[in-house]
Structure 1
Amino acid sequence: MAVQDVDDEAPAGGRRRPLSFRTKAFYGVGSVANGAYVALGGLAMFFYSQVVGVPPHIVSLAISAVIFIDGFWDPLIGHGSDQFRSRIGRRHPFLYLAMFLVPVALFLRWHPPGWDASAMFWYILGTGLFVNLAWSLYEIPSGAMAPELAPDYHDRTVLLGYRWILGSLGTALATVLIYGIFLRKTPEHPVGQLNADGYGPLSIAIILIFLVAGLTMALGTQKQAAGFHQRPHEPGRTFRDDWRDALVTLTNRNFIVALMAQVIAGLGFGIAAGLTLYFQTYLWELKAQDILILTLLGIPGPIFGGILAPRLARRFGKKKAAMALFFTSVVFGHTPMFLKLIGVLQLNGTPALLWVLASFTFVQMVCAIAGYILASSMIGDIVEEVQVRTGRRAEGLLTTADSLPSKIVNAIAALIPGLFLTAVAFPTKAQPSEKTMELITQVGWLYLPTVLVLFLGSVATWSFYRLDEESHARNLKTIAGDPPP
């Protein structure tokens, strides 16, 4: 049965004209909240160890436990949003609930009490779990909307480009707030990121960004979401039937490849997240304003990445383009540190340092963002392949089924920064000095080979992915009721 073209508010699975700019913009704006949230969350290890004064191994243990536990409820939220039925769609009730919970959770996270170290472990753990659960109610349903909004092979990549571009701009906005306003250098705090009084007001600013961006996305996509696919009422359907379909989804070859690539890369990202601010502060000896400038110089990167991704996908295919982009990103992202560790790049304290770091970071960011867009689009393409086999769309399950193994790996990764720092006896509440330079260099030699092996291993794993434009088109025809030729 042929299906006529309809507008971008038609149910998922049919043929549509390309999404309107309005729809793409509303959906993308929601990721501004993601970028701001990630920027704030990346400060947690540094904040609790260097500012609050909790020993780093206790902080990393608490963060690791949060990540591990978080992996259990993400698939439940994803699967729950797949199965949910309401007049306003499957995803939006979860988004509106998150609007109430996320602000409370973030406020508690960044306003810690003055407890001793053992008690602070439980505070970091408890508030971390609250933040992650509340955030999952927002992030998982919003991410699951992309395949429904854009079933077309290339239009999906463009839509995700908007999401990544605006998410990166959210990160840039948050970074301006962090290092340009709340943690800026002052006479009392020459290293602004060590200013304890700035973190509480900063968290409130990030909460406001979340509310504005999240509500804009939710309300702006409400009309489309109300017409999306919803699970039909099936009185005779059993839990065993649901389990069988879920098993088909989770054993999909291409999903397993994507899962393995993400898990391997996630280990590297987890290690990097806990140490980035340490390297900026103690290896490169950057002040808050330096980090701000470095971030501002990188703002155009995500825009170029969002433009580059769909063009490379059309010319070379998503898989080849993504692998090349990720490889280039790894090389450019880690070359400055390697040169610093071997004694070649000795520019600390000079204006040239920022330009060198900015140049490498810009190329790394463009390639990474473009690669992430293509990888996200490739995972989205699995939705229709699964729908052909099961008759059901499982965006939420597919985007979160990797959560448990990924979070287990990330939990291990969250321990590693604390172990590296403890291994070299890095002090808490330390000011940059010759001693901290010596210690952070030792950390760098532990860090660099570890993450390089992980990131390059992730790139190689994508070579086993098999979906392409032709197979995706066949899946869409099958779903629409047209037998493939």
Structure 2
Amino acid sequence: MAASATGKPSLFTRISFGIGGAADGIKNNGFDYALLFFYSNIMGVDAALVGVALLVALVVDAVSDPVVGYWSDNARTRFGRRHPFIYAALIPTALVYFLTWNPPAGLSGNELFPWLVATTIGVRVAFTFYDVPSSALAAELTQDYDERTSLMALRFFFGWFGGLTIQILLFRFLLVPTEDIPIGVFNIDGWNTYGTIAAFCILGCVFICAAGTHSHIPYLKAPPPARTLTLKKIFGEIFETISNKSFRALFLATLCGLIATGVSATLNQYINTIFWEFDNRQIANLTMGVYVSAVLALIIAPIVGKTLGKKRGALIIGSLAFSIAPMPVVLRLFGLLPPNGSDALFLFIICVTVFDVALIIVTQMLLGSMVADIVEDSELQTGRRSEGIFFAGISFIRKLSQGAGVITASMVLAVAGLSQGGGAAAATEETVRTLGIGYAVALITAWTLMLICVSFYKISRESHAENLQKLRDRDAAAEQG
């Protein structure tokens, strides 16, 4: 049975909302780690053209994200503000993702560029119609300060779990060599099968999220009163909404944090293979360790939110996480770790990695929950509930900052002399040292800026409670008047 927005959602509702995050995790994992490789190295599209396709999709996102966010904030339907968008996106999200990884057999090389542009835009827009309204439900399913942390913790947990599981499925079980294809990553049938499996998983996750939260529709917030809207008024309200100081703080914090994530993800293989000289088995074990990290984060985040508060918790956990992340590299630069190839070194790295990734996920969970608490703060200022716009803004900056992270990582590789490839065989002692220094400096700089931005966030447990009371008083006065 559904609970009102002021209460605690049932376990079924929380799990359903959380599983919805797996759809994003699967899509993001595919686009961030595999799309460029698949279309350039496997299908023969010029890498620069793949970049153009992603850039075009990003430009479309710059328009579609706030439009869908505003639209879902103001929609007036018998099924509420959010669920019509989620149901409408159900088939398109899965279908277009399937088509992305199953291009027409008659096309090859740069002939696939129009197909790539069309499917990339299609995936981005379809997921906007799903992701923005469904994420906005976090602020509507409950107004409770701590319950929002639990909801976002589940959302991020399933996002990491789903993305990692599909990645392991792809590279471990689908991209296998055959008699005709000795190198597994060139097995196009494996990529096609991945697209099919991922599409069905996305379909299931979106449906579970929509159906599992459907019973809450009568309890969700109503749209603002009907009014005459012009293009000028719409964009005026959007800019008024995003002028909230706490939102600007999280917007910039998300940008800096995800630049760090992009740097880490892009340089991860270089650090593992060139700096640490790990073999494939060791790298696979490091990847599997992220499962443990996600479980630890799911346990830790709600506890931190309750005991320290979200802002303070994000600052403390974030500072700890982002100090630990470059620590092994710094220790190696000073000659304080066991030599490469030793079991002691790998044990140290995997323990640090599992713990540190858990803390990074905790920080992401807390920041996600902090977005939900901005809604009531903004409502007091503007008179409107704008969950969709806030989550649309965070969604777009995530997409934008991932590219910035890749560019930053590319600069590190260029300075280290590794931009032309060659792997460990091409790396000199000075090259490895420069790679380590660049990696550590880039991470520390981006994360420090992120924490500085978070410090400008103004909403605490106490101020959130005050905002809720002021809204109740205003509603009561309006009913009496």
Of 292-301 and 139-148, deviating more is 292-301
Structure 2: how far apart are the matches of 1:74 and 1:390? Answer: 21
Q: Secondary structure at the match of 1:221?
A: helix
Structure 2: how far apart are the matches of 1:341 and 1:120? Answer: 45
The root-mean-square deviation of aligned C-alpha atoms, in Å, is 3.4
Matching residue of 1:93: 84
**Aligned AA (1:28):** G
If the length of structure 2 is used for normalisation, what is the TM-score?
0.85
- Taking a change above 3 Å as real, the CA distance of residues 403 and 301 of structure 1, as seen in their structure-2 partners, is closer
Structure 2: how far apart are the matches of 1:192 and 1:340? Answer: 34
- Taking a change above 3 Å as real, the CA distance of residues 390 and 295 of structure 1, as seen in their structure-2 partners, is same
Taking every aligned residue pair, what percent have the same amino acid on both sides?
Answer: 27
Once the two structures are superposed, residues 391-433 of structure 1 have per-residue CA deviations (whole angstroms, 9 ceiling, x without a partner) of: 22110101123555665554444445556667746457x7x55
Matching residue of 2:220: 228
Of 363-372 and 265-274, deviating more is 265-274
Kept in 2: contact 1:33–1:214 (CA 8 A) = yes
Of 306-315 and 104-113, deviating more is 104-113
Kept in 2: contact 1:63–1:125 (CA 8 A) = yes
Q: Paired residue for 1:312, among 298, 304, 319? A: 304
Structure 1: how far apart are the matches of 2:475 and 2:193? Answer: 58
Q: Paired residue for 1:163, among 155, 161, 166? A: 155
Q: Secondary structure at the match of 2:221?
A: coil
Deviation at residue 471 of structure 1 after TM alignment:
0.9
Q: Paired residue for 1:78, among 69, 76, 82? A: 69
Of 171-180 and 229-238, deviating more is 229-238
Structure 2: how far apart are the matches of 1:71 and 1:329? Answer: 31
Matching residue of 2:18: 28
Q: Paired residue for 2:447, among 422, 444, 455? A: 455
Matching residue of 1:102: 93
Deviation at residue 196 of structure 1 after TM alignment:
4.9
Of 197-206 and 400-409, deviating more is 400-409
Deviation at residue 170 of structure 1 after TM alignment:
1.4
**Aligned AA (1:66):** A
- Taking a change above 3 Å as real, the CA distance of residues 25 and 264 of structure 1, as seen in their structure-2 partners, is same
Once the two structures are superposed, residues 53-108 of structure 1 have per-residue CA deviations (whole angstroms, 9 ceiling, x without a partner) of: 55655544543443344222111111111111222221122222222212232223
Deviation at residue 350 of structure 1 after TM alignment:
5.6
Matching residue of 1:297: 289
Structure 2: how far apart are the matches of 1:104 and 1:422? Answer: 39
Of 417-426 and 376-385, deviating more is 417-426
Q: Paired residue for 1:393, among 385, 403, 417? A: 385
Structure 1: how far apart are the matches of 2:182 and 2:272? Answer: 15
- Taking a change above 3 Å as real, the CA distance of residues 305 and 410 of structure 1, as seen in their structure-2 partners, is closer
Matches within 5 A, 1:63-74: 63-74=54-65
Matching residue of 1:322: 314
For structure 1, the residue ranges without an aligned partner over 5 or more in a row are 1-6
Kept in 1: contact 2:26–2:163 (CA 8 A) = yes
Kept in 2: contact 1:28–1:163 (CA 8 A) = yes
Kept in 2: contact 1:266–1:406 (CA 8 A) = yes
Matches within 5 A, 1:89-238: 89-112=80-103, 115-116=108-109, 123-183=115-175, 193=185, 196-235=188-227
For structure 2, the residue ranges without an aligned partner over 5 or more in a row are 477-481
Kept in 2: contact 1:64–1:411 (CA 8 A) = no
Structure 1: how far apart are the matches of 2:185 and 2:328? Answer: 22
**Aligned AA (2:99):** L
- Taking a change above 3 Å as real, the CA distance of residues 54 and 436 of structure 1, as seen in their structure-2 partners, is farther
Once the two structures are superposed, residues 315-371 of structure 1 have per-residue CA deviations (whole angstroms, 9 ceiling, x without a partner) of: 222111101111222223333444566776676566555533321221112211211
- Taking a change above 3 Å as real, the CA distance of residues 185 and 315 of structure 1, as seen in their structure-2 partners, is farther
Of 350-359 and 295-304, deviating more is 350-359
Residue 374 of structure 2 is aligned to residue 378 of structure 1: no
Count residues with an aligned counterpart. Answer: 471
Q: Secondary structure at the match of 1:155?
A: helix
Residue 355 of structure 2 is aligned to residue 363 of structure 1: yes
Of 227-236 and 434-443, deviating more is 434-443
Matching residue of 1:4: none
Kept in 2: contact 1:71–1:408 (CA 8 A) = no
Deviation at residue 443 of structure 1 after TM alignment:
5.5
- Taking a change above 3 Å as real, the CA distance of residues 406 and 298 of structure 1, as seen in their structure-2 partners, is closer
Deviation at residue 199 of structure 1 after TM alignment:
2.1
